[in-house]
Amino acid sequence: MTRLLEILIALAITAVMFLVIGVLLPSSRSLEEKVETNRRQTIVFDTINSFRRFDDWHPFAAQDPRIKIQLSGPDSGVGAKMSYDSSVKNIGTGTWEIVESEPRSKVAYAIENEQRGSNKRSEFTLRPTGRSGRNIEITQTYNVDYGWDLLGRYAGLYVARNVGDNIETGLKRLSNMLASVPNVDYAIEGSSLRDLAATELPAEHLLMVKAGAIERSNDAIMASMKDNMEWINRTLAANRLQAAGPMRIITSELGRETYTFDIAVPVRAGGAAAAADASAEGETAAAAPAATDASQPLTGLQLLGPVEYVHSPPVRVAKARYTGFMAELDNVRNALRAWAMTQGHEVVGRPFENYDNGIDAAFTAEGEYEVFWTLKQ
């Protein structure tokens, strides 16, 4: 009997100690971690202002490659939501939702999961730092309330180890991921880069010439474009084809001394006038192409000089419009690639541009281009 009484007294003392310590423990917890990146503030903000690259930086995907992630709501900004489901005990199920978004400076998420606590919130703030503000300091905070949930208050003793480790790992992964994005600000105020979007480019018939490595001078590049366009125009006429769009330049390599590119023109069947032009120039006009549907290759073409025929299948592309000098297009391509990556896309192949107002205008500030980069399907 004495032994039982001792046990009951010990349990009572333990229970009282549990209650006393629980009451004295904080009813909420806050964490903060920082990391620095040299990527542009626009790139950092757009990356965290949506969930399209969440699994590329947050440790959940690294901890469970089989995690199921579902996105809902708008693509970015307030209301964008990510739901996850994992068989890994430490992850479980839950949601993140963007509840506050201040352009280029702050993104806040409301978090619901199976762990104890309420009003869970993680917030990212961005602050220029370093010489001339060239770097961006990314601060992530986490806050949770336990109220009078004493078990929750005890769980809060380990929040720095559990949630804190995830925040630290996530920021490192975010910094490494951002380092792979071209460091070009595609949203500079007053820039003539505009209308960035992901869209479908339908199947096309292309007449193409491989220009090769051309000396990086305006005169040499312009001369190559005009000479090779002459071959394409002659082939158009010889086959009674019509141009279905402006001249296209497909970049292979922009070196220090040379520029390697291909020239292409999308085409379609038709054009009696083209055949007459071919006859006037002494060319033999070919019979009308056997196929006019862009989904099927053309056959029976008479290809002149260096001209080749390519049937391009439908592809998904990132695209933008730009006004300015042709020499500025390399920076524009990198800007488009940076934008695509922040949207969760991966670019593949070679970038290309439609020269909407011709070759001569391209070497002036009035050049008009539609810039494309194929996206991984």
Residue 33 to residues 109, 134, 307: CA-CA distances in angstroms? 16, 20, 58
Distance between the two ends of the chain, CA-based, in angstroms?
76
Instruction: Please check whether residue 164 is in contact with residue 171, taking contact to mean a CB–CB distance below 8 angstroms.
Output: no
Which pLDDT band holds residue 4 (cuts at 50, 70, 90)?
A: low
pLDDT for the residue numbered 21: 54
pLDDT tens, position by position, 102-150: 999 999 999 999 888 889 999 999 999 988 888 999 999 999 887 666 5
State the pLDDT at residue 10. 56
State residue 276's pLDDT score. 47
Task: Give the model's pLDDT for residue 227.
Answer: 97
SS3 329: helix
273 pLDDT higher than 50: no
15 has a pLDDT exceeding 60: no
Per cent of the chain over pLDDT 90 is 72
Backbone angles phi and psi of 24, in degrees to 5: -80, -20
Query: Distances in Å between the alpha carbon of 280 and those of 129, 234, 276, 283?
Result: 67, 11, 6, 7
Q: What is the pLDDT of residue 117?
A: 84
- Answer for the pair 210, 308: CB distance below 8 angstroms, yes or no: yes
Question: Which pairing describes strands 248-254 and 241-243: parallel, antiparallel, or unpaired?
Answer: unpaired
Count of Cβ atoms closer than 10 Å to residue 359 Cβ: 19
228 vs 164: CA distance, rounded Å:
60
Query: At residue 316, does pLDDT exceed 70?
Result: yes
Please, what is the average pLDDT of the chain? 87
Q: Does the pLDDT at position 366 exceed 70?
A: yes
Lowest pLDDT segment from 38-47, 167-176, 280-289, 293-302: 280-289
Which amino acid does the sequence have at 9?
Answer: I
pLDDT at residue 188 in the model: 85
Q: Could you tell me what percent of the chain has a pLDDT over 70?
A: 83
Q: Is residue 370 within 8 Å of 321, Cβ to Cβ?
A: yes
**Buried b / exposed e along 188-219 (16+ C-beta atoms within 10 A):** eeeeebeebeeeebeebbbbbbebeebeeeee
Nearest to 248 by CA among 151, 369, 128: 369
What are the phi and psi torsion angles at 28 (to 5°)? -150, 165
The rounded distance, in Å, linking the Cα atoms of 273 and 208 is 22
Please tell me the least confidently modeled range out of 157-161, 179-183, 203-207: 157-161
Return the amino acid letter for 43.
Answer: I
- Per-residue pLDDT at 16 exceeds 80: no
Residue 287 has pLDDT above 80, yes or no: no
Q: Which residue has the higher pLDDT, 159 or 352?
A: 352
Tell me the mean pLDDT in the region 333-338: 97
Which of 140, 181, 116 has its CA nearest to residue 33? Answer: 140
- The answer, yes or no, to whether residue 3 has pLDDT greater than 90, is no
Q: Is the pLDDT of residue 95 over 80?
A: yes
- pLDDT, residue 1, reads 66
Question: What is the per-residue pLDDT across 42-58, written as a single tens digit (0 to 9) for each?
Answer: 999 999 999 999 989 99
Cα distance between residue 56 and residue 176, in whole Å: 10
Helix and strand counts by DSSP (H, E) for the chain = 10, 16
| Angle CA 25–27–29, to nearest 5 | 95
Residues 306, 228: contact at Cβ < 8 Å?
Answer: yes
pLDDT bin (cut points 50, 70, 90) of residue 294 is confident
The residues near 55 (Cβ < 8 Å, ≥ 6 apart) are 61, 67, 69
What integer pLDDT is reported at residue 13 of this predicted model?
Answer: 56
- Write out the two tokens for 195: 């209308």
